[in-house]
Amino acid sequence: MRIDAKRMKFVLYDGLGIPFKDNSFDVVHSDGVIHHAEDDRMLLKESYRVLRGGGSFAGCVYNKISPGFVARGCLRKLKFMSIYCRPRQGSTFLPEILLCPIARHYTVSEWRNYLNESGYKQCCVFSDYSGIGRF
């Protein structure tokens, strides 16, 4: 499929009120966004609202059982995270919590439940241990 970039339109919004009519899209895609939303469930409901019947949602969120999530939890318990996150003098590095104040992690069953609560009934949820997807 060829995409005509001249016909593309990008819209910036807060995610809580998607500025499109109901049943507007055949596909809704969210990769690395929902788990940072202030109201993740409302964002899922909005994505379902703008999706046409028979359409597809594809998304990826953080996984609670990913090696990175587990490692960060262990480091916090061992008090290494404060050392790890302290920037060096003159460094532009910022701790993750400052860059992304909201970063949720989900289990596969939590993600499936959130999708079902939002209106998605035919869900295929899988985990690759770094994220959880629904296609």
Query: Which of 3-7, 26-30, 85-89 is predicted least confidently?
Result: 85-89
pTM greater than 0.75: no
Smallest Cα–Cα separation from 129: which of 71, 56, 75, 44?
71
Per DSSP, 61 falls in state E
Higher-confidence position of 57 and 82: 57
Query: What are φ and ψ of residue 53, in 5° steps?
Result: -55, 135
Domains contained in the chain, CATH given: 25-134 (3.40.50.150)
* Contact status, residue 84 vs residue 75, Cβ threshold 8 Å: yes
* Contact status, residue 56 vs residue 26, Cβ threshold 8 Å: yes
Query: 82 pLDDT exceeds 80?
Result: no
Q: What is the pLDDT of residues 90-126, one digit of tens each?
A: 545 444 544 556 778 888 888 889 999 999 888 788 7
